[in-house]
Structure 1
Amino acid sequence: MENHQTLKEFSATHSQKAIAEMMDVSQGAISQMLKSGRDIRVVEDSSVEAGFRFYEVRPLSNRSKAA
């Protein structure tokens, strides 16, 4: 498994403005992501321009399909 940290952990060492630039979103969007408690992970990745990859972990739906 890759070594990752949460967005909240990452924001302790990087400003919201810098993170927003890396993700190509507004600083306000980063603020909302942090306040909402979304499970966003950060992985160091030298193959991308920003040097980091961001992804969100979300549960699969438990809904049953109608027959």
Structure 2
Amino acid sequence: MTDDIGVPLKEFAKGRTQPEMAAALGVTQSAVSQMVHSNRDIRVRETTKGRYEAFEIRPIGSRRKKAG
């Protein structure tokens, strides 16, 4: 098992604009904006092919329950 869980999104964002981050991650600028302004634990790591991937770390069972 690898220990490389990447860097926090806010650290990855230093020195980069949202459009630059969006291009690097393959998402829209608005998606980056939502990620940056959320309290979610989003990590970014570089792949072996020199690309970047982002993922969220959260506890099991942390999904919100549907009302009703």
Q: TM-score, normalised by structure 2?
A: 0.71
Q: Does the CA-based 8 Å contact 1:43-1:54 persist in structure 2?
A: yes
Corresponding position of 2:33? 31
Alignment of 1:4-43 (within 5 A): 4-43=6-45
What is the identity percentage for the equivalent residue pairs of Structure 1 and Structure 2?
37
Structure with higher Rg: it is 1
Q: Where do 5+ consecutive residues of structure 1 fail to align?
A: 63-67
Alpha-carbon separation, structure 2, partners of 1:44 and 1:13: 17
Corresponding position of 1:65? none
Alignment of 1:54-65 (within 5 A): 54-61=54-61
The alignment yields a C-alpha RMSD, in angstroms, of 1.9
Q: Does the CA-based 8 Å contact 2:22-2:29 persist in structure 1?
A: yes
How many residues matched?
Answer: 60
Q: Where do 5+ consecutive residues of structure 2 fail to align?
A: 63-68
